[in-house]
Amino acid sequence: MSGTGTMNASWTALGYYVVAAGVTTACAGRFDPANFQGSREARRAEPEAVVDFAARTDEQETFGTVHDSCTLQPGFRQLNAEALSDLDCSNERLLLVLRESAADAGGEVLLGAHCTQLRLEARATEAYELTCAAEVGRYRRGPSASQRPLSVPRSRAPGTPAPSAADVKRIDQPDASLAYRISLHFEPLVSSFRGLPRNAADVHELSRMPLSHAPLGDLVASCAESCEERALRYGVLIAAGRLGAPDVVGVRCFHTAGGNACVGTLAAPERDE
């Protein structure tokens, strides 16, 4: 891309962010994309320590429910204020959000967690609605029950000798719930691109555009409130991976009165090696 083209694309992306952030700022109140319904109390466990059970045991009691959903539309395409939670829509993300919501409400267990997928026939392009739900419970008796009114939230499930591969994968990642706050804008510079979707860990962050690469367009991840820079940077990588881009060039972040944003140029080799 020429210097003028890059500047114009960047100004377009920045202008869009300022407008989008101003609109999103109007949203306020408790942020809970998993829609917890029930009685809340002080946190007893961190999300990674919330345990899954198929059904309630005699040592537990239920005190609420959680459910969340997202809309999955595969493929490389333009993004216009699309939530990161939709672009990266998966049962894995939805279940992580259920855990975060349950922990925030004082839960220690998820009971009967289940997910469904529905093809949205009314859409002009392929699209699916994914939904996950569960009951939220806590221990009322037994060795796992809290013996004090106020205690440090349990950080790991009892009896777990070491972090699992899934735990290690999540250590440096921001809360899954933030994906519902992060808004994406992407205007492709190419009419089509056939890249296989990939995990954010498989997307390379580069400081300069390699001579062997062609730009695919600038992608902006923005958030009006409560999003740290690392969450937005990681959001750019997640979005690039879902669109099939193997590389992101020159990620830069900025702050305005409307919130925070990060922008990076998606890129791919002009020839498949």
Q: Which residues contact 160 (CB under 8 A, 6 or more apart)?
A: none
User: What's the rounded mean pLDDT across residues 113-129?
Assistant: 91
Q: What is the CATH number of domain 37-74+88-145?
A: 3.30.110.70
User: What's the rounded mean pLDDT across residues 251-262?
Assistant: 89
String of DSSP letters for 207-253:
SS--TTEEEEEEEEEEESSS--HHHHHHHHHHHHHHTT-SEEEEEEE
User: What's the rounded mean pLDDT across residues 158-169?
Assistant: 53
- Residue bearing the bigger pLDDT, 11 or 249: 249
User: What's the rounded mean pLDDT across residues 88-99?
Assistant: 96
Residues 20-56: pLDDT tens digits?
444 333 333 457 899 999 999 889 999 989 999 999 9
Beta bridge partners of residue 71, listed in sequence order:
129
The token duo for 98 is 């259920």
Domain positions in the chain are 3-27+181-268, 37-74+88-145
Residues 133-150: pLDDT tens digits?
999 999 988 777 765 554
Residues 167-189: pLDDT tens digits?
545 555 688 999 999 999 999 99
Q: What is the pLDDT of residue 144?
A: 75
